[in-house]
């Protein structure tokens, strides 16, 4: 029982972390040793009854898609924009549908790359499977967004055993950045080298931190990251300060920061990408609401890929966007060395486009799936799969959302302002990394109902939400070739994942609880489902990475150091699938920085 007057609460713990609960077991290891294509070779062809159809994206029109340059306007498709008339007055449709660059996907990687290449004057086509997220009241309604999953994909995926599940991901312009919490942290310098964990070794990257550092700075400035150098004890060196000051703590979070500092810990302002001006609130686009993390921003004040990159790129006359455009497969030349055709299903018909350079940025899971279903005689196990690594080494972090039901109320509105990295690497009490601690957006009764924690005695869901501190814990999972993306015989996505390196994450959970007990902050710590609303940890794919790792050796990697496929001359990848390790921070800023890096390479190649 709880006495609100005295705050006396008995201890209760509910374990439902996102790290291992419900993950498939060793059944995934019974799969074939190679990424064999489905036995039915015709499921990717239009009109086959057994083909897995693309999901209807959030906000998609009845017509099945739009062609857009910006929200609310009709843009020019490839044929409208680039059709030419030959010397006898006929349209040359080969020119009409050919571009210098095609980018498949408009999220953190694809959107950022489009922004980088737009000023080049080269003809660029963006292909987006989804539509623009509609601006509507439900954007900020926790029942619609969390409990009902209004904007989640409707398409069913399958686990290692063949059971269906619905992933917590989104098909829309801006990709998953439309719904992210905008925590934009750099990977640590040590993350780029070999790092030993209790569960194994995290491999070194083929590039050093110093090579990516200038692009981290550019990405932080582009995505308007608010932060403070010198406050995070593990932060790597930076060539420039943040352009925007850190987001201030609200009183309850500031009290917690003081308590942690008195324990000798070093909490720091979490770097976040929002368009907030606390010095001039009247002119600030961001209103510091409680519906940022996990929600689309109704006032376009979150630094997502659509707002920051895609819409500005579309201001250039050489850039076009097709929405509702599902890329079914990539076709190659007879030699197999170049992608020559991009097959698109849009508005119930098949369209074919081509480009000098093709860039895949569908997210680590869908990018691997696209390459697997693009198999042909030269690439019998999937495009660019000479290494047999396409789809393998899927990683997604070990994540837990833990609610500390505090004695005192937590009226905080924008909660995601503090991070804690004291246990990111080895520390005095353990010789291996544990991970990163921060906050998620403030929960309410609908969020709690979706996660379905058991009630604290004497507390309703509403009262629990009013008293909760809502922590987010992230630890590194390690590459395992049996954690992989494959395709079912019908061509739908199959995701096999068994969590690993669990001891560090378990220790991090225990450490958080002991810290809060020591500062007499709470008497209840309730781990919730990490990806609320689905109750299937496998569905938590927001941090997906690693399925098309980059490296210098074609035998042990899919991409080279410029993120070009080893096996093809004109195919690049710029989402998180290039990661050879996952670190323990949100991958978004690293995706953005790498897209800027690859963008510089592509501009040189294009001339």
* DSSP 8-state assignment for residue 330: E
Domain with residues 26-135+144-606, CATH architecture = 3-Layer(bba) Sandwich (3.50)
The per-residue pLDDT for range 294-323, each reduced to its tens digit, is: 999 999 999 999 999 999 999 999 999 999
Whole-model pTM over 0.75:
yes
pLDDT (0 to 100) of residue 245:
98
The per-residue pLDDT for range 191-217, each reduced to its tens digit, is: 999 999 999 999 999 999 999 999 999
Give kind and range of the element (H or E) at residue 573: strand 571-573
The per-residue pLDDT for range 69-125, each reduced to its tens digit, is: 433 333 333 333 333 333 333 334 455 799 999 999 999 999 999 999 999 999 999
Query: If we measure between CA atoms, which residue out of 355, 352, 343, 365 comes closest to residue 153?
Result: 365
pLDDT (0 to 100) of residue 453:
62
**Are the C-beta atoms of residues 129 and 327 closer than 8 Å to each other?**
yes
Helix axes 209-222, 588-606, angle to 10 degrees: 100
Largest CA distance in the chain: 89
- The pLDDT of 220-224, averaged and rounded, is 98
pLDDT at residue 4 is higher than 70: no
Least confident of 31-45, 359-373, 492-506: 31-45
Query: If we measure between CA atoms, which residue out of 104, 270, 111 comes closest to residue 176?
Result: 111
Domain assignments of the chain as residue spans, ordered by start: 26-135+144-606
* DSSP 8-state assignment for residue 85: B
**Are the C-beta atoms of residues 470 and 403 closer than 8 Å to each other?**
yes
pLDDT above 70 as % of the chain: 80
Least confident of 23-37, 121-135, 322-336, 529-543: 23-37
Q: Is the dihedral of CA 516, 521, 524, 530 positive or negative?
A: negative
């Amino acid at each position: 029982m709880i006495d609100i007057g005295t705050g006396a609460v008995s201890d209760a713990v509910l374990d439902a972390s996102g790290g291992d609960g419900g993950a498939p077991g060793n059944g995934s290891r019974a799969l074939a040793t190679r990424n064999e294509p489905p036995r039915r070779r015709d499921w990717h062809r239009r009109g086959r009854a057994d083909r897995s159809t693309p999901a209807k994206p959030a906000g998609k029109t009845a017509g099945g898609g739009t062609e857009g340059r910006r929200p609310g306007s009709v843009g020019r498709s490839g044929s409208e924009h680039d059709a030419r008339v030959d010397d006898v007055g006929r349209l040359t449709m080969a020119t009409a549908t050919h571009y210098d660059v095609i980018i498949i996907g408009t999220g953190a990687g694809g959107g950022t790359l489009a922004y980088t290449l737009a000023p080049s004057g080269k003809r660029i086509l963006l292909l987006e499977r989804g539509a623009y997220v509609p601006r509507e009241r439900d954007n900020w309604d926790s029942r619609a967004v969390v409990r009902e999953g209004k904007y989640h994909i409707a398409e069913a995926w399958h686990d290692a055993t063949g059971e269906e599940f619905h992933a917590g991901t989104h098909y829309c312009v801006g990709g998953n950045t439309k719904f992210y919490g905008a925590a934009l942290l750099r990977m640590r310098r040590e993350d780029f080298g070999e790092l030993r964990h209790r569960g194994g070794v995290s491999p070194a990257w083929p590039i050093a931190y110093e090579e990516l550092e200038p692009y981290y700075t550019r990405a932080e400035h582009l995505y308007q990251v608010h932060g403070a150098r010198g406050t995070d004890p593990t932060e790597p060196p930076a060539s420039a300060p943040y352009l925007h000051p850190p987001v201030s703590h609200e009183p309850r979070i500031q009290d917690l920061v003081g308590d942690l500092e008195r324990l000798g810990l070093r909490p720091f302002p979490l770097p976040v990408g929002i368009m907030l001006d606390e010095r001039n609130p009247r002119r600030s686009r961001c209103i510091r609401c409680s519906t940022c993390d996990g929600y689309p921003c109704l006032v376009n004040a979150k630094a997502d890929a659509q707002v920051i990159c895609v819409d500005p790129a579309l201001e250039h006359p050489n850039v076009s966007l097709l929405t509702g455009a599902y890329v079914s497969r990539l076709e190659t030349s007879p030699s197999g060395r170049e992608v020559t055709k991009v097959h698109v299903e849009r508005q119930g018909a098949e369209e074919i486009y081509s480009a000098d350079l093709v860039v895949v940025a569908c997210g680590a899971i869908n990018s691997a799936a696209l390459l697997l279903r693009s198999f042909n005689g030269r690439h019998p196990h999937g495009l660019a799969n000479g290494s047999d690594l396409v789809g393998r080494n899927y990683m997604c972090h070990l994540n837990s959302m833990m609610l500390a039901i505090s004695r005192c109320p937590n009226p905080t509105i924008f909660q995601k302002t503090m991070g804690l990295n004291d246990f990111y690497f080895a520390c005095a009490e353990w010789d291996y990394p544990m991970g990163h601690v921060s906050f998620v957006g403030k929960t309410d009764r609908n969020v709690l109902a979706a996660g379905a924690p058991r009630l604290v005695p004497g507390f309703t869901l509403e009262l629990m939400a009013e008293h909760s501190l809502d922590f987010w814990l992230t630890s590194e999972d390690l590459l395992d070739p049996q954690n992989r993306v494959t395709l079912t015989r019908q061509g739908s996505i199959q995701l096999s994942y068994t969590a690993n390196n669990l001891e560090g994450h378990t220790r991090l959970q225990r450490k958080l609880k002991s810290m809060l007990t020591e500062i007499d902050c709470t008497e209840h710590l309730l781990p919730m489902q990490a990806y609320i609303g689905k109750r299937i940890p496998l569905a938590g794919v927001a941090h997906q990475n690693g399925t098309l790792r980059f490296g210098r050796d074609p035998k042990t990697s899919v991409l080279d150091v410029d993120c070009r496929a080893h096996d093809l001359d004109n195919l690049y990848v710029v989402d998180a699938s290039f990661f050879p390790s996952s670190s323990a921070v949100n991958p978004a800023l690293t995706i953005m920085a790498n897209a800027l890096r690859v963008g510089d390479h592509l501009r040189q190649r294009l001339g």
